[in-house]
A and B are shown apart, each in its own frame.
Chain A
Amino acid sequence: MKIKSVNQFESSRLSLIDYDLIIVSSGYESRCTYISQTFKLKSNSKICFAFKNYENNLARKKNDRFFRTEGYRVFPFNSDDDSAIFDLIKRLVDKFENRELNILVDYSCMTRVWYSSILLFFKLLDSRESVNIFFCYSLAEFTPAPKSVSKNIHVGPIRGFSGISTPTIPTALVIGLGYIPQRAYGLVEYLDAVPFLFYTNSSDGNLYSKEVEANNHDLLTQVSDENIFTYSITDQQNAFYNLTDLCNDLRGRYRVILAPCGPKPFTLLCLLASVLIDDLDVWRISAGKKEKPTDRQADGRTTVLKVSFV
């Protein structure tokens, strides 16, 4: 399917829709349940991806209880189970008759592999009328970045979001900065690439953006100002336009890699950009299971992006 439109959606309107399918996740963060608890979401088909590990974590137990009580069917997955997620979504979507579908995905606590698999399924689907996916994200209260940094374990293309090109023109590397120190370091030299940086501006919280700036100081000073962009997580639509504008501008002169190291909503934008524009590679940069579990509370803000596929 192709992306028809990408629009910011008022979270207060989430309860106005009858969803054909709701997909959430249960892990060690308390905010897993925030969106389901806050908005009266209506659907006859509700599923929850639960992490196979951290089952004894307190917040996790509470989340599982909540989702079961609310009628969610819980499916346990490993954090990098891409094909299992893909197959499950296929089974569920195949059951629906061919009409416009409305699907809500709360990816606040999903791994990047999980929500990229959902998106990949719809990217490859070609026998549907139209599908609207409401990608919901609950912002977390600020917690400082961990002092000891785990080194990157996974650095490479995300399955289904990597193209093929010939090495006749240079690589442009669009990095989405996060607040974990050094996560993005080494990539520019590794790929011999021209770097471009995206990071959240202070409208999403001064503490977070200051920490992003402090922990990426070297990169931010090495890259020229014209190659640095800021965005707001709560205005994903605008961020998406800026990102796709840049990618369209770079295509032809460069082969583009998007490397989101930062917040999940930016990763989502990268994946969507790759669905919209052919030949953009999206890379996963992560410390994998080495990252220590931290219970993050919702800060009360929700950002929703409505993506329509035809």
Chain B
Amino acid sequence: MSTNNTLFDTFNAKYLTFGEIAETFIFTHQFEELIKNNHSLLMGPRGSGKTTMLKMLTPMGLHYWQGEKAIEIKKRIPFVAIYVPTDIQWKRQVEQIRADLEKFPKYSEVASRVLVTVNILLSVVATFRSLVEINSNKHNLLSNEANIARKLIALWKINEPTPPNFLSIELSLLERVTAIKNHIRKTTYSGKLDGDILCPEYFFDDYLDQVVSACKAFEFEFKKEQTELSNISRWALCFDELEIAPKWLQLELINHLRGKDDNILFKLTTSPIVSMYDEISKEYYTIEAQENNDFKVIRIWLYNQLEKQRWKKFGKELTNQRLQRKFGNKIDLENLLGTDEIDRAVIQELSIPGKKKILKQTSKYTRGSLFWFLFKELSTINKSFKKFLQGKNIDPDDPVPISEPQKDSVYRKVKQLASYRYILTKEKSHLRSRKVVPLFYGVPYLYEISDGNPRLLIGLLDELISNGSLDESGNLNSFTINLQSRLIVNISNKFIEQIDNHPEANKSIGNKHIHLGEIVRAIGNFFYKEMIIDDFKMDPRNTFTVDSAINQKFMDLIQLALHLGIIIYVNPKEAISQKGLINKEFRLNYLLCPYFKILAREYDRPVKLSSIFSTSMQTEQQKLIFE
């Protein structure tokens, strides 16, 4: 039972086995942070590897992880991780229950809590099972299991008689889920008042009390064992995808970061910003926990230059691993795709004689060099560029640098922008324009546009390799920059299609609808205009800040874009924010750059989102946005 890979489903760790995850796990500095003895908030967009890290913290993840680094980390890790999963189906089921129980607000909260508790208890059982299996021998495996299982049955008030083993406890907990479902169904159509509904006692059990008592029981049970089990004194509750958990749970968990029980740590994964605004109650929540004092934030996206450098190293390791596993040592990606130097496109696009001779020139900006030709050509077809050169005291007819420092301060800075403008402007003036302009190629570009997202990088790599042509010996031919650009634009288009088809990307405001795809296009088209069409400048705006004039429903779509990694939070200052996205700076995911034909680069000159919409959207849409 398998499917061909789509762009994003290649590497979702959620349902991979621990063995599968451990086999391809690459150690990162974020993982080093995550194993520290503190509460952590692991933040990043979808696909950035959060679930992989959480699952690698667990006893089973660590058990399957091999190698020197693994041995060293296993010795140092100061807690046992309990991985608590969540997913969209579960989220939507819980939301549906909330909607069905609209007339029973108190009961609705109780029902939501008991469902969360059961999910957490199942995770505790799974962790205990792993610990016992890994650390027991054939002589004491069953007795170890039975001893701790008996305690859980008593502590959690599991129906007696339940055989003292983990499977039976799991089945009893799953029976609770069925019982809860039936209770909810009967209540919904019972006609009872909210305050009159009678629930079984376990409906009111607090998940944290239950976890703490189970963990203490485990420690007590095994403290005399001559195994690793006797050393356990600290536990980490690892909640995945906090942003899709019920709001009450999000708030509680964030408040737990203040540190309630020294023996229980919280490791939470979430989107790059946690908004403390509640859409339903229209309230702004305050929290006591403070970043650095109470918890550490671990960011897992490319928010600065250092992270970009680290990502390139990681990307190289990941692609090598992938190619090695698929093709052995046969494929050298550098040979196949080459570099991302803009010279490769410019020399192809310029209509000048003696190209080979030009390429051999060591100095790139002297008279007769590649960029000398480019600047000269561009200033003839683009008046604003001509004016720009003149403003820098550069002669458009003979654009040689007037000084050595000018090479750095002007030439190196604008050569890519000028190249894009030249190729795209020339393209526009053609009667029959090509479907793809050759601007998107090279191994570094592949890392760049996958934008810190391992799942995306693997998807891109697989898509490229599967579209390559073979030589007579069956080896892959190297990819021309035209072919690479075509394939990469196709992938970028697919990304836009996915945004267009995302089930939550549509919001109704009154009787009108606004779609995330429209928002993304408005932003991308604005940046294209800024970079390619408007007067040439060295630092075109291609980041934006979200301002408070915008409708909350609209804000939800921006939050969704952030969660999905469609927009990237740059210069992050706040992790948990009362004002959510307001006044934060964002850019588009680099994978969208080929679609919008813009450079994958920031210029630190953000524009207000409301300004973008004022210039790019129709009046009717604008009204919706600012209502």
Contact = CB atoms under 8 A, between A and B. Distances in A.
Interface string B396-419: 000000000000000000000000
Contact of A189 (B1, B9, B513): B9
Contact of A164 (B14, B180, B505): B180
A163 B181 contact: yes
B606 interface: no
A153 B508 CA distance: 8
Interface in B186-217: 189
Contact of B12 (A157, A192, A285): A192
B203 to A, nearest CB: 14
Interface stretch (A32-40, A54-62, A216-224): A216-224
A87 B150 CA distance: 48
B89 A171 contact: yes
Interface stretch (A67-75, A179-187, A229-237): A179-187
Of B94, B506, B517, which is in contact with the most chain A CB atoms at under 10 Å from its CB?
B506
A226 interface: yes
Contacts of A171: 87-89
A124 B502 CA distance: 33
Interface residues of A, number: 42
Contacts of B115: 164
A171 B6 CA distance: 17
A153 B513 contact: yes
A152 interface: yes
B540 to A, nearest CB: 31
A265 interface: no
A159 B497 contact: no
Interface in A177-210: 182, 185-195
Contacts of B85: 167-168
Contact of A224 (B2, B14, B501): B2
Nearest to B97: A164
Given A157-B93, A166-B118, A222-B3, A185 B88 contact: no
A183 B502 CA distance: 10
A64 to B, nearest CB: 25
Given A194-B1, A224-B3, A226-B1, A186 B97 contact: no
A155 B505 CA distance: 10
Give the interface centre of A162, A164, A182 by most chain B CB atoms within 10 Å: A164
A227 B3 contact: yes
A157 B99 CA distance: 11
A162 B95 CA distance: 10
A167 B90 contact: yes
Contacts of A182: 500-501
B1 A281 contact: no
Contact of B503 (A152, A164, A195, A222): A152
Contacts of A165: 89-90, 93, 177
A226 B1 CA distance: 7
By secondary structure, the B interface counts as helix
Contact of B1 (A124, A169, A191, A227): A227
A255 B89 CA distance: 9
B122 interface: yes
Given A170-B15, A185-B501, A190 B96 contact: no
B177 A164 contact: yes
B119 A167 contact: yes
A290 interface: yes
Given A186-B502, A187-B503, A192-B87, A166 B1 contact: no
A68 B9 CA distance: 54
Contacts of A222: 3-6
A163 B501 CA distance: 25
A20 B90 CA distance: 40
B48 to A, nearest CB: 15
Contacts of B99: 159
Contacts of A293: none
A159 B96 contact: yes
Interface in A106-157: 124, 151-153, 155-157
Closest 7 CB pairs of A and B: A186-B501, A155-B503, A185-B501, A167-B90, A170-B15, A167-B87, A162-B96
28 contacts: A151-B517, A152-B506, A153-B506, A156-B95, A157-B96, A159-B99, A159-B100, A164-B94, A166-B177, A167-B85, A167-B86, A168-B122, A170-B14, A170-B15, A185-B501, A186-B498, A189-B9, A189-B502, A191-B87, A191-B89, A192-B12, A192-B88, A222-B4, A222-B5, A223-B4, A224-B2, A281-B93, A285-B503
Interface of B: 1-6, 8-9, 12, 14-15, 85-90, 92-97, 99-100, 115, 118-119, 122, 126, 174, 177-178, 180-181, 184-185, 189, 497-498, 500-506, 508, 513, 515, 517
